[in-house]
Structure 1
Amino acid sequence: MDFSRHRRTSYFGLPALALLIVAAGCSSADDNTSTVVPSPDGKVTELCRNLDKSLPRKVDGLDREDPEPRSALTAGWGSPAIILRCGVERPPKMVDPKVAEGRDPNAVAGGVNGVDWLMEERDDGAYRFTSASRVAYVEVTVRKGSDTSAVLIDLAAAIKKAIPEGIAN
């Protein structure tokens, strides 16, 4: 991945990301959640364990309720659940030129409180955010009806503390 191009991309879609965050926060709820535990290498697993220890007890005002199967690589808050998975693979859209140029309406890059994200709207109306410019990818799925801006703000400090900046393998 061309890091300099990726850096530029993170700020190109910031106004669109803010607009989609506001729009996503006004949706209705959906309770269908399935969580698959990622299987990264040892270095990333250790970073994810450190992240798990740093995660807040509440996100968007919701208490932490980890999904099944229990793992230090996954976390959840509330119902419908906000799901975090650490150590996921890089999403294909992260290097898609249409996203970089702002031409993909279902994927936007931007940053929130020092953490860069790729935001993708899913078919079920949920939003999937994947961290960028970090040595491990962290994915956060925000169900319809959740305040996506509050979720990303609440998670930013823990991600910055546990997952160093850089390029994931």
Structure 2
Amino acid sequence: MNSFRHRHISVIGLPVLVLLIAATGCSSADGSASAAVPSPGATTAALCRNLDEALPAKVDGADRRDPSPASSLTAGWGDPAIILRCGVVRPTKMSDPKVAEGRDEDAVAGGVNGVRWLMEEQGDGGYRFTTALRRAYVEVSVPKGRDSSSVLIDLASAVKKAIPAGIAD
């Protein structure tokens, strides 16, 4: 009788366990954002780990709340989240001569505190910034309603410290 009882619990417990795992996997208990983790080469990944250690605890007044999945290649602050991804591929807009000449309304190149950025307006009213002339490409997504200037100022010293000037591979 004991083995029947144990078998009965296992059969009933399995669907409940599957349901709990599915629910846990589909939602985040703390409401944190998610971000695709880049897949850079070893040299770039090492630079990105250095950046992760140098990043500030606050950006634009918001506390650090890293996105899921957890990775030293991604970081986040606030809600809605400012998301940083290190080791991304070079944006195609960086090769567009209209951007360099300031003739592209959707993308603008500029610098903040010694770090050059490509700014691209997103369809949702936010902006995506990608570092230029650095050994690794760092992308920062700033949601609508956040102060982009403040975000870039807060991140500039960490980028300068961890990602040397140069051309990324």
Structure 1 counterpart of 2:131, which letter? S
Gaps of at least 5 residues in structure 2 are: 1-30
Q: CA RMSD of the aligned region, Å?
A: 1.4
Identical amino acids, percent of aligned pairs: 71
Shift of 1:73: 0.1
Shift of 1:131: 0.2
What corresponds to 2:19 in structure 1?
none
Q: Deviations over 1:43-80 (max 9, x none)?
A: 00000000000000000000000000000000000000
1:109-124, aligned counterparts within 5 Å? 109-124=109-124
What corresponds to 1:128 in structure 2?
128
What corresponds to 1:108 in structure 2?
108
What corresponds to 1:94 in structure 2?
94
Structure 1 counterpart of 2:129, which letter? F
Bigger Rg over Cα: 2
Structure 1 counterpart of 2:137, which letter? Y
Q: Deviations over 1:11-32 (max 9, x none)?
A: xxxxxxxxxxxxxxxxxxxx9x
Gaps of at least 5 residues in structure 1 are: 1-30
Q: Normalised by the size of structure 1, how large is the TM-score?
A: 0.80
In 2: Cα distance, 1:98 partner to 1:159 partner? 26
Q: Whose relative contact order is higher, 1 or 2, with alpha carbons under 8 Å and at least 6 apart? A: 1
**Number of aligned pairs?**
139
Moved over 6 A (4+): none
Shift of 1:124: 1.2
**1:79 counterpart = 2:86:** no
1:33-72, aligned counterparts within 5 Å? 34-72=34-72
Structure 2 counterpart of 1:132, which letter? A
Structure 2 counterpart of 1:52, which letter? D
Q: Normalised by the size of structure 2, how large is the TM-score?
A: 0.80
